[in-house]
Structure 1
Amino acid sequence: MKYVIILGDGMADEPIEELGGKTPLEYARTPVMDDLAGRSEVGLACTIPQGMKPGSDTANLAVLGCNPRQYYTGRSPLEALSIGVDMKEGDIAIRTNLVTLSEEEEAYEDKRILDHSSDEISTEDAAVLLEAVRKELEEDAYHFYVGTSYRHLLIWSKGSVTELTPPHDVLGQRAGDHLPAEEKLRAMQKKSYEILSKHPINLERKAKGLNPANSCWFWGAGTRPSLPSFEGKYHKKGAMISAVDLLKGIAVGTGMANIHVEGANGGLHTNYEGKAQAAADALLKDGFDFVYVHVEAPDEMGHQGSVEKKVQAIEYLDERVICPIREALDKAKEPYRLLVLPDHPTPIRVRTHTSDPIPYLLYDSEKELRRIGAYNEREARISGILVEQGYELIRKLFEN
């Protein structure tokens, strides 16, 4: 038996008037997910523990079977694992976004947070910009590390965990209302605008009609994590396929393999087919029992507030990831169980994460169910099935 989780990050949403009162998942053309739903258990799961902030960090830990209340120490420490940063006792990891702030002649505090991803800046351009910041701002206690696209890392030696605001939670709002309380971090963030706003790469981006990556934004602070071994806990050899450092870090922390896919970038135009092929190869050729395929695009489109692009991202997931993985396993006559779900909702209305229960479908190729209905939030709610502790959902996938 092979086991697969396919996760569309932020895929769940709310009914939208311009979609005729449907959610993007309801509206999107998803024949494969809908066909699977007619043969699967469909229900809701609570991936965000009550009182914890909704995020891909806590939610994906839960989906992988780790109780966030027990294992979550912050987002950035997981990303640090991904890029090979050896955090020492007392180190604080801080996510460093390259963001777009408004460029009118106003004080930094009065600038508006326009884009948390700087139009999904390439890693190559971002690395050059971060190097410019590093040369000016790096000190003995503060070290910058390049991640992927707009997502980077600051290690603060012998620092303290401080409350920091994710930029995607406050899009369109005044920067000064959400700056770090810690004086040094606040000063570094403001100085980064002076360094980046006139950098040649950003001048070139503006000339092309792209958002400039004109400021660092600090958030997601935390200490070194200690996660349980996935194979030790479930007796399955597992692999992660994701373009996002957070998911790669969770894989490192749980002892799973990370499978690199060329052209996978966490955006709408990622290498979907490459991810699907890598998953099939891992299961059918490379001896893995379990593969976790993470697709970031629906979440990014939710943050952008683009209804059209979120629908497109969901359709790409169905056609270009789920379909070929299913076909490969069916063709190989390999029995398998498949769990399809988002980690959390990222509703277009609010352009950030919420804690609402998410819809899942659980398919077993050897125990096909027969039910009427599609895969979406409404059908999951009608089912009456609710997994209250989201970290227990994976037990359903693995149970005999």
Structure 2
Amino acid sequence: MKYIIVLGDGMADEPIAELENKTPLEYANTPTMDHLAKKSEIGLVQTIPEGMKPGSDTANLSVLGYYPKEYYTGRSPLEALSIGVDMKESDVALRCNLVTLSDDEKPYHDKTIIDHSSSEISTDDAKVLIGALQEVLECEEFKYYVGTSYRHLTIWDKGQVIDLAQPHDILGRKIKDYLPKEAKIREMMEKSYEILNNHPLNIERAKKGLNKANSAWFWGAGTRPNLDSFEEKNRKKGAMISAVDLLKGIAVGANMKVIEVPGADGTLHTNYEGKAKAAVKVLLDDDYDFVYVHVEAPDEMGHQGSVSNKVKSIEYLDSRVIKVIKEELDQNGIDYRMLVLPDHPTPICVRTHTSDPVPYMLYDSTNLLNNEWNYDELHAKKSNNYIADGYRIINKLFQAENE
């Protein structure tokens, strides 16, 4: 038996008027998921523990079976693992987003945050801008590291775990009420705007109609993580497929294999088929029992507030990932159990994460059920299946072998 999790980041949502009062998951044309749902268990799962912020960090730890209240030490330290930064016990990691602030004559604190991803800046462009920050801002206390797209890393030697606003939570707002209280961090953000706003690369980006990546924004502070081995916890050898440093970092911390897929970039136009084929390839390897396929696009479209593109990202997940995995495993005569779910909702109406339970679908190729469900939030709720502790859902995935 082989095991797969396909995770559509931020895929869950709320009914939207322009989608006939349906959610994007209800409205999207998803024949593969709906076909599987009629032969699967579906329900709701609470991935975010009470009292914790609804982030992809806590939620994906839950889905992988790590109770966040026990294992979570911050988001950025997990990303540091992916980038290959060996943190000291005294280090604090900070996520360093390249964001778009309003390009006006107002003082820094009176500017408005326009875009948390700077038009989904390419990693190549980001390397140039992070390099410019390194030249001016880097010192013994603060080191900068290039990540992926807009997501980068700063290590603060002998730093503090301080409360910092998530940029995707405050889109369209003036930043003065959300700036760090720690003077050193705030000063670096202000200087970053001076360095980046009129950087030649940003001038060229603006001419192309792209948002300038004109400020660093720090958040997600945390200390060195300590995850148990996934294989030792679950007696399954696993692999991770994701374009996102956070997920790759969790995998590194859990001693899972990280599979890099060319063209996988965390955007709407990521290499969906490449991810699906890489998942099948690793499952056909006798050494591996489990693969986790993470697709970032629905979350990004939710943050951007793009209804049509969120629908499109879900349709791509259905036709270019789940369908490919199912058909290739069926053709190879492989018995498998596949769990499909989001990590958290990213509703279009708020353009950020919420803590509501998310719909899951568990398909077993050796035990086909017979019901009338589609895979969406409405039918998941009607099923009356509910998992209160999200970190236990992986036990349900592995249940057939554990019974």
Q: Same fold (TM over 0.5)?
A: yes
The amino acid of 1:167's aligned partner reads P
Instruction: Give the Cα separation in 2 of the matches to 1:373 and 1:396.
Output: 19
Corresponding position of 2:221: 221
Q: Do residues 242 (structure 1) and 257 (structure 2) align?
A: no
Corresponding position of 2:393: 393
TM-score, normalization by structure 2:
0.99
Corresponding position of 2:351: 351
Instruction: Give the Cα separation in 1 of the matches to 2:344 and 2:398.
Output: 22
* TM-fit CA distance, 1:176: 1.1
* TM-fit CA distance, 1:314: 0.2
Instruction: Give the Cα separation in 1 of the matches to 2:239 and 2:304.
Output: 30
Corresponding position of 2:82: 82
Corresponding position of 1:209: 209
Corresponding position of 2:233: 233
Give the 5 Å matches for 1:114-125.
114-125=114-125
Instruction: Give the Cα separation in 2 of the matches to 1:58 and 1:286.
Output: 31
In structure 1, runs of 5+ residues without a counterpart are none
Corresponding position of 1:138: 138
The amino acid of 2:305's aligned partner reads G
Instruction: Give the Cα separation in 2 of the matches to 1:89 and 1:211.
Output: 37
The amino acid of 2:172's aligned partner reads G
Partner SS, residue 59 of structure 2? helix
Instruction: Give the Cα separation in 2 of the matches to 1:335 and 1:242.
Output: 24
Instruction: Give the Cα separation in 1 of the matches to 2:381 and 2:290.
Output: 28
TM-score, normalization by structure 1:
0.99
Instruction: Give the Cα separation in 2 of the matches to 1:255 and 1:138.
Output: 31
The amino acid of 1:308's aligned partner reads S
Deviations 1:245-293 (A, max 9, x none): 0000000000000000000000000000100010000001363110000
* TM-fit CA distance, 1:340: 0.1
Corresponding position of 1:380: 380
The amino acid of 1:15's aligned partner reads P
- Structure 1 residues 16-25 or 279-288, which shifts more? 279-288
- Structure 1 residues 60-69 or 281-290, which shifts more? 281-290
Identity of aligned residues (%): 67
Corresponding position of 1:105: 105
Corresponding position of 1:52: 52
Instruction: Give the Cα separation in 1 of the matches to 2:285 and 2:222.
Output: 38
The amino acid of 2:138's aligned partner reads E
- Structure 1 residues 281-290 or 33-42, which shifts more? 281-290
- Structure 1 residues 282-291 or 384-393, which shifts more? 282-291
Q: Do residues 3 (structure 1) and 3 (structure 2) align?
A: yes
In structure 2, runs of 5+ residues without a counterpart are none
Q: How many residue pairs were aligned?
A: 400
Deviations 1:322-363 (A, max 9, x none): 000000111111100000000000000000000000000000
Instruction: Give the Cα separation in 2 of the matches to 1:177 and 1:288.
Output: 48
Instruction: Give the Cα separation in 2 of the matches to 1:21 and 1:198.
Output: 43
Corresponding position of 1:27: 27
Q: Do residues 312 (structure 1) and 312 (structure 2) align?
A: yes
Q: Do residues 191 (structure 1) and 191 (structure 2) align?
A: yes
Deviations 1:47-67 (A, max 9, x none): 000010000000000000000
Corresponding position of 2:274: 274
Indicate the RMSD between aligned Cα atoms, in angstroms: 0.6
